[in-house]
Structure 1
Amino acid sequence: MGASVRLAIALAASTTLARMRALTIARQGMPVLSNVEFIADFPDPTAKAGEVVVRTEAAALNHLDLWVGRGMPGIDIRYPAISGSDGAGIIESVGAGVDAAWIGKRILLNAAVPKEIPARPDLRPAPLDITMIGEHGPGCLAEKFVAPIENCLEIGESDPITAAAFGLSHLTAWRMMVTQAEMRAGSLVLITGIGGGVALACLAIARHFGCETIVTSRHQWKLDRAKALGAHHCVLDDGTDWSKQVRQLSARRGVDLCVDSIGKAVHGSCIKSLARGGTFATCGATTGSDATTDLTRIFWNQLRLVGATMGDMREFREVVALFRSGAIAPVIDQVFAPSGGREAFARLEAGEQFGKLVIDWRES
């Protein structure tokens, strides 16, 4: 056999091996579902220095996946894009500088990668910004993904489906409630929009802290499900101001903490529901960011407003420790095979889910 023939065979073989299945967003637009495609031969990723290639076992969807499809101001998303910021899997290969002992280990991803800013004499230090795996670059909704080893946490024999459903939503909730809002055990906590991953994570963490909880939803069936999970009080959101109902449930006192990711549509009700000295914590604004607030109520009642975005590895280790001990578990709405990924996106975009939507990449 000639050298040219052997080379052609080798190249063909490497091309065949270096392909993977992936859920891609072909282009920017709405509805996002119309641009979601299941691809059987997407190019495999490769690890750079300090990175690892992970064979995905499970990946969960977040509202962030919809924003990737819709496009985000100031972020240059390259289409076709692979979104997905929640992933668990087995490390398959490592880049330069990464200990080979990681190969074969099951890990859970923290998709928030800190951006290193070089020290400058004319620049005051500030908290680090982040880039998001699955937003600023390719994510976990594929058979393989790449991540810095510093953002991988070994989880041993933990179930990858449950782990993928846990990661980002519970990290976000932990930073919002524990780090930023400094929630105390026994607090009265209001959680808006119960049924989404972050809201359910907030409920689980509040229950772990022994807090009394009030939850809201536009759907009675979601309130019923939340009640079964341990929510103490439920408020049906009919689009009007529901703060009086919250105050009635709290003997007119108000709540110590309101955690919200809905934004504009409920912001007024949230602020009016707070007790003196209470805290409003936000991690998102799915109905819009240009909310009208009440500054007089904020300064007169000495309220605090705090924001939270994802979390660092210290916080990730803290909350994942609760997952691995069995103290906190995610709520899973449905598990899909990769070929059913479009159905998962449809359910997410319609807001029909109660809990996390997970893709099992071990299925054909």
Structure 2
Amino acid sequence: MVSPKDLVLITGATGHVGSCTLLHVLRAGYHVRAAVRSEAKAGAVLARPEIQSLKLGSRLTFIIVPDITLPGAYDDAVEDVTHIIHIASPLATADSVPLNQHEAYFIQPAVRGTINLLEAANLGGTVRRVVITSSFSALIPLAQLNGTTPCRRAISPNDRIPFTHGPYDSEFAAYAASKVAALQEAEAWLERERPAFDVVHLHPGFVLGRNDGATTAAEALHGTNGLVLALLLGTKAGPYPGAFVYAEDVARAHLMSLDPTVLGNQSYILSRPAKWNDAKEIVKREFADAVKTKLLVLGGSIETTDIPLDTTLSEETFGIKFASYRVQVKSIVNHYLELRMKRKASLPMAMAKARRASTKKPQEVCVSVAEITCG
């Protein structure tokens, strides 16, 4: 039951999982303080139609935390906070980060951000529970994730693996190592400090589904959704594990984890198995017109590594029947096509604006062209 005194600090609220979780927590009646890196990030959150429709008043506030790795980064953010949802952590960027920078980009922020938050919560004295977004990759050796070694038994939420130092040969390897390191360091800290609060670790598979933070088709290609869309636009990649979870289910699990009846100091796996390439058959059936007009193509391929995951505890605890891969893919593709159509519809408006600009004085023409370019 939500109390007017309950204040939830959410980190990573500008990302895919974070934006969806933020909506669920606000709709449940909580007061939320969102930690963001800049005022511009706060403005982007407030500009979302889904946020504006809630008419929140003072129930949503922001605090600027520009660098989560600095000592004391979250000390001010936790003031009067009763619950924390920690989602902020580096994500893979399609191998744009140089190999020699993996440690600084992935490992250090994941570990230092988590420990800084736990230390701040301990000093603040008002926090009752911290929910940390981890990953299924924190529980599984890399050789099994990439298919080098077969996974011969179901992975349990209580499985733990040692952290492996770099250098890493890919961003996915570095990302997975960052999740292992953050989980290991957090549990060691909890064992050592014995804080008054407890911690729930959530371990989702690849999170798929509409991302309202993406407002253009190009932005929709970012993150895990981008892997599915790249597959449906002709890209060949992989192998990647066949472990998926709907973004809405992940958000619900975060919200429900605030409830004290959910066992703390425990890990929960959020996932459902599927084959990456099943997306092509789903699109062929559900989006035949988009395939016919070549907005989507069926020539791409992503090889799947089979990883059995034991989600029994999660299903019993949260009462969630995880949405199918079909639901996830349809959500992604619907949003992508919606954004493509939105851009197509906006082109005649942009052309009309350009024609009007051509009749203006030279200095006025420059302003108008700049507006069209930026849009």
* Structure with the largest fraction of strand: 1
* Structure with the largest fraction of helix: 2
